[in-house]
Structures are given as structure tokens and as C-alpha cells.
Amino acid sequence: MTIDWQKEVEKRKDDLLNDLIEILKVKSEREDDKITADAPFGPGPRDALLHMLAYGERDGFVVKNVDNYAGHIEYGEGTEILGIFGHMDVVPAGDGWDTDPYVPVIKDNKIYARGSSDDKGPSMAAYYGLKIIKELGLPVSKKIRFVVGSDEESTWKDMDYYFEHEVMPDFGFAPDAEFPIINGEKGNISITPQFATTNEGDYELVSFKAGLRANMVPQDAIAVVVTDSNESAVALAEAFEGFVAENPISGTAEVNGGTVNIKLIGKSAHGAHPEAGINAATYLAVFLNHYEFGAGAKNFLAAATLIHLDVYGEKLGVAHQDEKMGKLTMNAGLFDFEAGQEAASINLNFRYPQGTGQDTLEKGIQTTMGEFLTTLVSQEHHSGPHYVPMEDPLVSTLLAVYEDHTGEKGYEQIIGGGTYGRLLERGVAFGAMFPGYTDTMHQANEFMSLDDLYRAAVIYADAIYRLAK
């Protein structure tokens, strides 16, 4: 039986786009201050989860909501389960957008909105692949379960809870990365040095804040500094203007008596690719570290300066490279100093290859940064390196589908990003970014090409059918 997948997607492209637009309107950022029993990660992630599950109900699938943590949309019967894992939560939109991040805009054949490429767009493409199989009544020998998460960008507690109540699929993929395939992922752990919040120098650091999530390069950093006079404050502000002019950043320094309010703007990027961003926090620390701060403030700024431009952990003494998985990367994603509070902190998110791990990273930080910090706190639950061999039928089938629809040779890839694919021993990430695509995940003006959206849906439909028939 020959199926023209391209034709089937073409018939449904308007519906696909309309469904995507509606779910992109849901501001599904995690909000811890709004968590309730009914909304375990805040109202936005819950509402987006319910919205996606409602599509499944509308289209006649078997649908299950697992207490608003996660859910699934199911088709077919069989002893084996093929899992497809998407997520409806998004990272905070942040600043720097040309349009409202939750009012989808189509421009130059691209759809702009937070979540368009990570992960609502790819998830919708995969869902429509499954929808085509159902609507054509194609025979399958496996149960196909489209699992919808709502906390992928934060703690993955959605999946912890989901798999306390549901059976783990036997194999599957996450439409949440790149084509031709991602069959390996580095380990992922956050380690947080903490510091005293005391001040004893000529300058007082009242506060220093930067970052929205551990897996995002901080685009903005804000500090409040108190000096001994208006004259000193003006001099500091003028020096900041010179610093900005000499570096790939922008910013402002406002003087109010002896107080200076500083905002420095860099460039956000996905935490798995810190080299693609400009870390506003470390640049601001480098500037302030030239001034006479004391005690905890001095140590906090010195530590932040130490890791400036250190995206591979070389200055920290934890650099490591594996022949297959490549280099360790480090993103300093969250900075929090508030004078007088219990502790200040810098969150360091590591994506590490085989051959290193938590103990080695902690020892390196303690050795290099120990004179500055008061304690070191490591993420309680984290993921080690993950790899599915090329000869696994899951990998070979997905690569064959990619090759048949693109005419390009498939190849394996290992990334620093973490996807739900690693939940399964035989799990990978598959699309939806094509080679040569501009990656805007976790950045302002995130978009997905409409041509790529439809092309991905074609590939997903064929891939799901080949894996499940």
C-alpha cells in the first residue's frame, strides 16, 4: 500500500496551522507562585496541556489526563507501546521581541511566537502525523501513545508523576530537537555555589539579578550599587558607558544621589549552547569587580568574573571532551544576590559527556571557587549521558524515513540539550529542525518555518506508521 504522505498533509495544512496558532496563544510559562493542586506548575502549563488533550478528544482518540501533570493521546492496539513525547510548557519569553510572544504572527512564511519551535510547533506536526494515520484507518500492530508533558523546561516532575501512574513505552522519540536524528544526549546537572550576602567595602552591592531559567543564557542583568557620594556614583556610571562601548553589549546606568541602577543587556541562547549567547551577568560582574566591594559581595562578583566566557569549564578546571559526545559545556544561567538575605547564588548548568560526572564537577568547583563560596548545592535529580546505537532498528528506521523524504544522507548526532527521548532506554529525539535551520529556541523572536512545519508532519506521519505497522 503506497501512501502519499505529502498529499495527506497538504489536505490538512490549514487545520494544522490553525490548531498551532491557538495553542501558541496560551502563555504556558511555569509560575511557581501560582501553583495549586489543580495546576502543579501554574495555570499556563495546565491550560496548554488541557488544550492539546482537547484536540485529541475532538479527533476521536483515546485521551487520558493524569492529574494535570501530563497526559496522553492514544491510538491502536498491541503489546508494545510506541511513545511520542512532546511538551506544552515554554521558557519565559523575556525581552527583546519585535512582536507579542503570545500573539502568533506569520511573516516571511514563518510563524513567530514563544513555543513555535520549542516545542508546540514540532509537537503539533507529530500529532498531525498520528492524526493522518488514524483518519486513513491504517493498520498498526502496536499501541501508539502521544505523551504530552507540561514541565520539560524546568524539573521534569511532570514525567516523574506520569510514570508513577502509567506504563513506560517500549521505544519512541521526542519531536524536540533536530533532523536527521539525535540518538545521544550529554548528561545534564545544575550545581549552585552559594555566597554570603554581606558588604564591607567602599561600594555596597544592594542587589544583583540575572537569568530566567537555568537552561537559558541570561540576556539581562540588573544591579543596584550604593557609593559614598553622588560624585562617585556619577564616575561609576560614566565608566560603565565606556565599558559598554568596548564590549558586545548594551546597557544603562542611572544615578540617584549615591545610588547607581545598572542594567546590562547581552544575548539569550539555549543553555545547551552557551557559546551562542552573550552572558549579561558575567559581563556585569567583570565591570563591577574593578570596584572596592567587600565580604560576600566581593566574593560573589569574583566568582562570577572567574567564569566569564568559560563556556567549556576550562577556568573551573572541569573541562572534558569525549570522542563521541564532544565537549562539556557550562551555562551560568541564574544569578541572585540580595544584601542581607540568607544566601546569594550562581546556578551553573553543565551538559557533560561520558567520562566525567557530578563528583568531578563538584570537586573542580570547590577547588577553583572554594575561597569565595560558603557552600555548594547540587541538583537532587539529574540525567546522565544517554546513547542509542546506530544499529538499533529505531534509529535505522527513522534515518531511512528522513533519507526517503529529503534525499539527504542521515547521520547520528549527539547534543547537549536534554529531551524527553532520554526517558526511554530506546528513546531518541527526531526533528523538527532541519540542517541549516536558524535555531531560535529560548531566544527572543522564536519562530518556525511553515514549510518546515509541514515537511516535518510528512516525515512524522511516515515514521510513526513504519514504526507501528
| Residues classed as catalytic | 89, 152
> d(Cα 278, Cα 275) in Å, to the nearest integer?
8
3-state secondary structure of 361: helix
User: Strand 143-149 relative to strand 110-112: parallel, antiparallel, unpaired?
Assistant: unpaired
Instruction: Please tell me the distance from the alpha carbon of residue 447 to that of residue 114, in angstroms, as a whole number.
Output: 8
Q: How far is CA 66 from CA 69, 100, 165, 369, 423, in A?
A: 6, 31, 8, 43, 18
Which grid cell sits at 161? 508523576
Question: Distance between CA atoms of 363 and 356, rounded to whole angstroms?
Answer: 11
Intra-chain end-to-end CA distance of the chain, in Å? 12
d(CA 302, CA 77): 59
As beta bridge partners, residue 64 has 72
Output the nine-digit C-alpha cell for 88. Answer: 506544552
CA 274 from centroid of its chain's CA atoms: 12
SS3 label, residue 437: coil
Helix, strand or coil for residue 214? coil
The DSSP 8-state label assigned to residue 260 in this structure reads E
Distance of CA 127 to the CA centre of its chain: 21
